[in-house]
A and B are shown apart, each in its own frame.
Chain A
Amino acid sequence: MAKPPRPIDELTEQYGPHLHYTPPGGWQGESRNAATLVKTHCCFCGQQCGIQLKVLDNQVTGFEPWEEFPFNRGMLCPKGVKRYMQGSHPDRLLDPLLRTADGFRKATWDEALDFTARRLRELQEKYGRDAVAVYGGASLTTEKAYLMGKFARVALGTRHIDYNGRLCMVSAGTAYKGALGVDRAPNPWSDIAQAEVLMLIGANIGECAPITTDYVWRARDRGARLIVADPRMTPIARHADVFLPVRPGTDLALLLAMLHVIVRDGLVDHGFVAAHTTNFEATAESAAPWDPRRAADVTGVPPEAIERAAHMIGESRRAMLIHARGLEHHSKGVENCEAVVAIALATGNIGREGAGPVMVTGQGNGQGGREHGQKCDQLPGQRSLTDPAARAHVASVWGISPDDLPGPGYTAVEIMNAIHRGEIKGLLSICFNPLVSLPDANFTREALEGLEFFGVIDFFLSETAMHADVVLAGSLQEEEEGVTANVEARVIHIQKAVEPPANARTDSAIVCDLARRLGRGQYFPFREPREIFEELRLASQGGIADYYGITYEKIDRQMGVFWPCPTLDHPGTPRLFEDGRFFHPDGKARFMKLEWRESGDPVDEAFPVYLTTGRVVSQYLSGAQTRRIGALVDQYPEPRLELHPRLAEQHGIKTGDWVTVTSRRSAITLEALVVRTIRPDTVFIPYHWPGDRSANRLTHRTLDPRSKIPEYKVSACRIEKAARPPEWAARRAQLVEGGRA
């Protein structure tokens, strides 16, 4: 059984999160003059900013900006500045752990790995191969992500492997793949600075991709105009020439109305549409009923503002539409992205400098982590797992028969659903904290409690790992060499700065060792990540995400290589579609039929308020790493409920009051922050926290039918002033005291 062996509070006391404030050696210690500087990248978001880590005595003791790296030129957000605090963190797992009757005990690697292999084998023998699933993550290097896909399919032979990028990039990926034939932002970020018109939709870049802000300012210095669609006045929205305060869940109506205006007012680039696209009529027909007046009623955005935004884009030859999770976390997330791509295609704004639809990949290796076989339906090189030619190619690289390659399995949320209903009995998870990051957290907890075996590879004991039978102490990003692909699909080189501390091991060594113990060692002979990368190059060769021409040395020479890069003398491909050819066999981009539908958790009389969830700049994803770094926690210690004074007044709520938020799943109590920077019909909660302050206790499990992304960005809720502070507030006060002492 996978219930935590002790109460969560007691496990937290032992394994954290504890707040760590001081660098190794103290603020005044020797570390200030540490000798070695290692040029590498931030471990957090998809910007993957270049950074130099200060290293002394196998410890990362600080950082220096890396001003020569062209993407961020030394710039960093607060997470990047404090990322170095993890390696020396007192919560760091230094040994494998085995669960006991009253907690966890340290184990040897032989014990922990033999136990893991034995339990996985037992469950597969008893219930069948697909009774075991693998969870991966998009913060892993590409080598590790590739390894997890191969491990699941070759070492375990299960079809169920998916990753936490399922909660991030799959709506955009599905839309771009369908419309353009490739899942990648088509433009390098330098194009943003060259645009005349920028539309940001559902992209809180100031907080979630801070470095991108500078690119927007550079465009504005050249006279660019800015359109921002968001239910909140985000830091970047404050500067918008046109602000579209869209009601949560109604982006598609807004975009269809913009398409309506573009068609109605003759702003379509008919030459481009005829030469390079198909199926324009389907989109035009979808947009026909959506005049701005009708869309205004649905979206809560004035019709004049919609008209203005559509004209700005339609009249420009250098327009970029930039979107992130705010557009994609919907049960119609794919349609939302298809509509953005359709606007770019209809106005001919694609394939040129300063023109294109662009997704802002969120997770560290959100791009590279989704290209090489960690997704449930893909093989390396962004190949389809159902394509016989792709299966044959990858099987030959792997030295197996294509018949032994399992077919597509469940997506991340579907895997948790299958665990909950008892179909999947065992789970091996790396780089994923689903208890915080999946929707409807109480359901996730019930599912985890029902697992017959749960193994975790991680460097901290996350809230999810507290449910594990075995925890294999893995490595931080700076403890293993590899590559990632940043937001622009620029493949970059992650350097090994230090060895894993004490008895912790590198992730790839753990996975290869486990494969050996499963009797499949001959397929996992890798002694170091470079050997994995060499195989990955071959496996991706000829695929869409072709890495064959990329080497570690070439990355260092060029400060990154944009894929596709099919040959060793190919410079890489910063901008796609410059020749007007798209990645479909006919070379044409495709317009889609775009059908409006309601969200999966509609507001009604009992739950009349829209709840939307998101991020703050000082925390990263489920907080498994950043909730342990004191300086980041101090900046925004706990989730607060943002609401407009008009809504607050109806309930007699003031800033600092405790407010209970109830959805159809559960209720949590948070402190109120009454601000005029949010729509009056909407409340906002950042999601980085666990337990009874977790926004994901409130969210619902409705998925986009194609991308299978959850609808984090719109739930129905009601709010009321709470009679007393929640229990977590008292526990929290103790933790802070303990952390400082």
Chain B
Amino acid sequence: MEFYVDPSRCIGCQACLKACEECDTHRGVSMINFDFVDRAETIASAAFVCWHCDNPTCAQVCPADAIKKYEDGIVGSSLKPRCIGCSNCVLACPFGIPKLVPQYEQMMKCDMCYDRTAAGKRPMCATVCPSQALAYVTPEAIAGRREKPVNTFRFGQQTIATKVYMMAPEGTGAIAIDVADYTWEGEHEAVPQAF
């Protein structure tokens, strides 16, 4: 089973936000990042979990070595005894995922419901999501979708591979936000595009 995120399917219902705080490891605190994109212009909304990077920026910048990536590729919340609440991770994460939770004086973020996934259950958010914009399914199941999974992101000079996949138009090689990634600059690797 892998985790797939498709903001185009998000209906803005926020069941994920509500369900996340019911998860036993962090009851009462929701780790979902949710927003309406620009409500004045569109009804579009997006819910995200942590992308669980192969080489997590949050862990790289942590001065207290409080953020660990586990064998199964899941990047945990900060370790409470170590976290000094400095917010380096909050500022450095290119996806804007970690949050400093004031009531615990600790960085907390999505841990992909490790207590549930370790026991063979699906994460709470992806289980309840009524439009399956957040989905935790097999690669075979996701292959039947119109959109296709991508887990390479480019942020300027930084290329990031993630455990969690973004659903994108078929043929999309990587998710890039910098126009430079799409331009011809001699022999360098440009991002393949869906068209």
Contact = CB atoms under 8 A, between A and B. Distances in A.
A220 to B, nearest CB: 6
B11 A235 contact: yes
Chain A residues touching B, majority SS: mixed
A210 interface: yes
A236 interface: yes
Contacts of B9: 213, 217
A214 B146 contact: no
B92 interface: no
B127 A65 contact: yes
B15 A221 contact: no
B12 A206 contact: yes
Contact of B13 (A62, A617, A674): A617
A206 B131 contact: yes
Interface in A220-246: 220-221, 233-239
Contacts of A80: 15, 128
Contacts of B152: none
Given A28-B27, A233-B43, A677-B43, A63 B11 contact: no
Interface stretch (B34-42, B48-56, B93-101, B179-187): B34-42
A67 B122 contact: yes
Given A65-B128, A81-B18, A234-B43, A32 B12 contact: no
A570 interface: no
Interface string B17-59: 1110110100110000000000111111100000000000000
Contact of A67 (B10, B22, B127, B129): B127
Nearest to A22: B28
Which of B8, B42, B122, B131 has most A Cβ within 10 Å?
B131
B18 A78 contact: yes
A618 B14 contact: yes
B44 A238 contact: yes
A214 B27 contact: no
Contact of B11 (A213, A220, A631, A632): A213
Contacts of A62: 22
Contacts of A72: 130
A214 B24 contact: no
B6 to A, nearest CB: 9
Contact of A78 (B14, B45, B122): B14
A66 to B, nearest CB: 10
Given A63-B22, A221-B144, A235-B43, A75 B122 contact: no
A207 B13 contact: yes
Contacts of B131: 206, 210, 213-214, 217
B145 interface: yes
A117 interface: no
A666 interface: no
Which of B8, B19, B146 has most A Cβ within 10 Å?
B19
B132 interface: yes
Contacts of A503: none
How extensive is the interface on chain A, given as a class? 35 or more
B130 A32 contact: no
Chain B residues touching A, majority SS: loop
A189 to B, nearest CB: 13
A438 to B, nearest CB: 27
Interface string B126-149: 011111100000000000111000
Contacts of A238: 42-44
A617 B12 contact: yes
Contacts of A206: 11-13, 131
Contact of B40 (A76, A210, A674): A674
Contacts of A435: none
Contacts of A237: 43
A676 interface: yes
A22 B9 CA distance: 30
Given A28-B28, A220-B146, A675-B39, A236 B11 contact: yes
Interface in A652-676: 655, 673-676
B146 A676 contact: no
Interface in A634-665: 635, 645, 655
A81 B127 contact: no
Given A206-B11, A220-B146, A617-B13, A77 B40 contact: no
Interface in A59-73: 62-63, 65, 67, 72
A728 interface: no
A703 to B, nearest CB: 32
A645 B42 CA distance: 12
A20 interface: no
Nearest to A223: B146
Contacts of A675: 39-41, 43
Contacts of A78: 13-15, 17-18
Contacts of A27: 21, 27-28
Nearest to B25: A32
A574 interface: no
Nearest to B44: A238
11 contacts: A32-B27, A63-B22, A67-B127, A74-B128, A76-B15, A78-B18, A206-B131, A233-B43, A617-B11, A632-B18, A677-B42
Given A78-B13, A213-B9, A617-B12, 10 more contacts: A22-B28, A65-B122, A78-B15, A206-B13, A220-B146, A239-B8, A617-B11, A631-B21, A645-B40, A676-B40
Interface of B: 8-15, 17-19, 21-22, 24, 27-28, 39-45, 122, 124, 127-132, 144-146
Which 5 interchain pairs have the tightest Cβ spacing? A27-B28, A206-B11, A210-B130, A235-B11, A213-B131
